[in-house]
Chains A and B, each alone.
Chain A
Amino acid sequence: MDGLWIALILALDAAMLGLVWFCDRLLHRN
């Protein structure tokens, strides 16, 4: 079970890093 919850933590933080990339793309397109 630990693996599942740790994977979820990693996935959520990876999504936040993805949001950084997305916002940066928007800024450069601006």
Chain B
Amino acid sequence: MTPEFFALLAALLAVVVGAARPLGRFFGWIMDGRPAWGPLARLEDGLLRLCGVRRVEMSWRAYAVALIVFSLLGTLLLYALQRLQGWLPLNPQQFGAVSPDSSFNTAISFVTNTDWQGYAGESSMSNLTQMMGLAVQNFLSAASGIAVAFALIRGFARHSAHDIGNFWVDLYRITAYALLPLSLLLAVALVSQGVIQNFAADMPVTTLQATSYTTPKLDAAGQAVRQTVTVAQQTLPMGPVASQEAIKQLGTNGGGFFNANSAHPYENPNALSDFLEMVAVLLIPAALVYTFGLAVGDTRQGWVLLAAMMLVFAVAVTGLAAAEQQGNPAIAALGVNQAHGVLQSGGNMEGKETRFGIAASALFDAVTTTTSCGAVNAMIDSFTPLGGLVPMALMQLGEVVFGGVGSGLAGMLVFALVAVFVGGLMIGRTPEYVGKKVEAFDMKMVSIAVLLMPALVLLGTALAVVVPAGLAGPANPGAHGFSEIFYAFTSAANNNGSAFAGLSANTPFYNGWLGVAMLLGRFGVMVPTLALAGSLAAKKRIPAGGGTLPTHGPLFISLLIGVLLLVGALNFFPAWGLGPIVEQLQLWT
């Protein structure tokens, strides 16, 4: 590892922690529903009235049904938009309809905040689909995630209550007061760094040098032959990139305008844009943790969760950077210099941009997999096996270390309940957390929320490695091919959306099954989380006693991290053994 890596990590965490308090207070204001500045308040009232929304509190059931129905309508609309884009305006590239299975996958992907992309955006989606479909869902799916976190926070903060807020009011206030202004600021900052924002058709340019390459084709007799193709022109894709890039990062969405995502120079041109994009990803998940502490009347409870998240993240990203900086022994055997120096990053640079190097690539990809963002500025398929294991494992912890906007905090609170439950078992007392007794129903909901994701990942992977349609996907044989499939289902069920890149996933099999995993992985966890919120809100608040496990100190941080790692390892260690671990052993023996 290099000094650049540690400097970048320290700067990133300093900015994120520094912003957590003021932004957390701001989210607290949004959550409390306090009136906005005059004209904005009138706009809020007018728009909500226009949509027929009454400002009444909802039970957890009504909140969950509103969330599911709203997401269903969004899914159907996005499906239709993709299928009809050939007849709709803002399509300068004249793209035809997206295939039915890809439309299904993409519609669920963006509505569930996953943003898994089986397609290449610049060669399949019109500007209208990108803006009215994908970018809109980037806002709404992020707002839905934060709304669920608000509901759970209210569950902890309220006592003897039947309601947990109003979904529609939360959705509006989160979008209008947080996501839109923050995205506007970030989009302008990204444009200043060279990210493009236009409605132009793709631009053909003549290259300085003609490029020749060979490609396979069938001859007249149907025999496979190779032909040489010479290209002297290149097409530069255009479009409204910066506006989508901003919410892609802030909303932990991750779906790139371009197939190469944040490795593309029009999405992420330089080191500063890279840093801004990383900060944007962590900003809201960190702030919401402070909002939680504020709402339960003890900000230490929030700082403890943030400390646990930062510790796990810092150790994981350091491991990732170390694995990548070590380089590839097969390449070293060819006499290639992989040492870090003034003129090169050193290490394993396959699949990485030279403008980012090892440090910024490792950090970016850890940031976007510890959250449910899933954007990439390097190709994870080309990471060393242990380097690739880190993003995979970060997702498999349940996307709770920072996690998705809202869903990450909700997931971490679920694990906090597991931790106090384990602590309670140790000392033989009914577990309590921030003044709420954790009882049988709560643990049933926690169990569904914690166990559904591993079931989806492991069953999905098992299916794909035994049926021909699944085995046709991976580009590599053996352990690496297994990792490609395993990573895809991990990414889908955790609503991350990043890909190992070696998997040909735009097929009816993968589009279908990954779509199922994304939808169940999102709402199958959110529904029990909201039920938990309803149950907690109805409880009385009990004062801490002599037998209460303190949840605001280092002991609880250790217990929480221990539970988190133990659950993750118990679920996934055998599968790690079949994929990245055996591949690492093969590489170094």
- Give the B-binding residues of A (Cβ under 8 A): 1-2, 4-6, 8-10, 12-13, 15-17, 19-20, 23-24, 26-27, 30
Contact assessment for A24 and B61 in the assembled complex, using a CB-CB cutoff below 8 Å: yes
Q: List 28 A-B contacts (CB under 8 A).
A: A1-B100, A1-B101, A5-B100, A5-B101, A5-B103, A6-B79, A8-B104, A8-B516, A9-B72, A9-B79, A9-B108, A13-B68, A13-B71, A13-B72, A16-B524, A19-B528, A20-B64, A20-B527, A23-B445, A23-B448, A23-B528, A24-B61, A24-B531, A26-B441, A26-B444, A26-B531, A30-B440, A30-B535
User: B68 contacts which of A1, A16, A27 (Cβ < 8 Å)?
Assistant: A16
Q: Which residues of A contact B445 (CB under 8 A)?
A: 23, 26
Q: How far is the CA of A17 from the CA of B516 in the complex (A)?
A: 15
Q: Which residues of B contact A27 (CB under 8 A)?
A: 441, 531, 534-535
A13 CB → nearest B CB, Å = 4
| Interface check B550, CB cutoff 8 A | no
Q: Which residues of B contact A24 (CB under 8 A)?
A: 61, 531
B218 CB → nearest A CB, Å = 28
| Interface check B384, CB cutoff 8 A | no
Q: Which residues of A contact B95 (CB under 8 A)?
A: none
B83 CB → nearest A CB, Å = 7
Interface of A is mostly: helix
Contact assessment for A19 and B527 in the assembled complex, using a CB-CB cutoff below 8 Å: yes
**Band of interface residues on B:** 35 or more
Contacts A8-B104, A9-B76, A9-B107 known; 9 new A-B pairs at CB < 8 A: A1-B101, A5-B104, A8-B515, A19-B527, A20-B64, A20-B68, A20-B527, A23-B531, A26-B531
A4 CB → nearest B CB, Å = 8
Q: How far is the CA of A19 from the CA of B61 in the complex (A)?
A: 10
Q: Which residues of A contact B519 (CB under 8 A)?
A: 12-13, 16
Q: Which residues of B contact A9 (CB under 8 A)?
A: 72, 75-76, 79, 104, 107-108
Q: Which residues of B contact A23 (CB under 8 A)?
A: 445, 448, 527-528, 531
Contact assessment for B523 and A2 in the assembled complex, using a CB-CB cutoff below 8 Å: no
Q: Which residues of B contact A12 (CB under 8 A)?
A: 516, 519-520
Closest-by-CB residue of A relative to B111 is A9
Residue-wise interface mask of B (505-535) relative to A, using a CB-CB cutoff of 8 A (1 in contact, 0 not): 0000000100110011001100110010011
Q: How far is the CA of A8 from the CA of B194 in the complex (A)?
A: 42
- Give the A-binding residues of B (Cβ under 8 A): 61, 64-65, 68-69, 71-72, 75-76, 79, 83, 100-101, 103-104, 107-108, 439-441, 444-445, 448, 512, 515-516, 519-520, 523-524, 527-528, 531, 534-535
Contact assessment for A2 and B441 in the assembled complex, using a CB-CB cutoff below 8 Å: no
Q: How far is the CA of A4 from the CA of B512 in the complex (A)?
A: 11
Q: Which residues of A contact B79 (CB under 8 A)?
A: 5-6, 9
Q: Which residues of A contact B531 (CB under 8 A)?
A: 20, 23-24, 26-27
Q: Give the 3 A-B residue pairs with the shortest CB-CB distance, closest first.
A: A23-B531, A5-B104, A30-B441
Q: Which residues of B contact A30 (CB under 8 A)?
A: 439-441, 535
A11 CB → nearest B CB, Å = 10
Q: How far is the CA of A23 from the CA of B520 in the complex (A)?
A: 15
Q: How far is the CA of A6 from the CA of B387 in the complex (A)?
A: 39
Closest-by-CB residue of A relative to B532 is A23
Q: Which of B103, B104, B448, B524 counts the most chain A CB atoms within 10 A?
A: B104
Closest-by-CB residue of A relative to B534 is A27
Q: How far is the CA of A26 from the CA of B534 in the complex (A)?
A: 12
Q: Which residues of A contact B64 (CB under 8 A)?
A: 20
B522 CB → nearest A CB, Å = 9
Q: How far is the CA of A26 from the CA of B446 in the complex (A)?
A: 13
Closest-by-CB residue of A relative to B522 is A16
Q: Which residues of B contact A8 (CB under 8 A)?
A: 104, 512, 515-516
Q: How far is the CA of A19 from the CA of B64 in the complex (A)?
A: 10
A26 CB → nearest B CB, Å = 6
Q: Which residues of B contact A19 (CB under 8 A)?
A: 523-524, 527-528
A25 CB → nearest B CB, Å = 10
Closest-by-CB residue of A relative to B441 is A30
Q: Which residues of A contact B512 (CB under 8 A)?
A: 8
Q: How far is the CA of A10 from the CA of B439 in the complex (A)?
A: 34
Contact assessment for B104 and A16 in the assembled complex, using a CB-CB cutoff below 8 Å: no
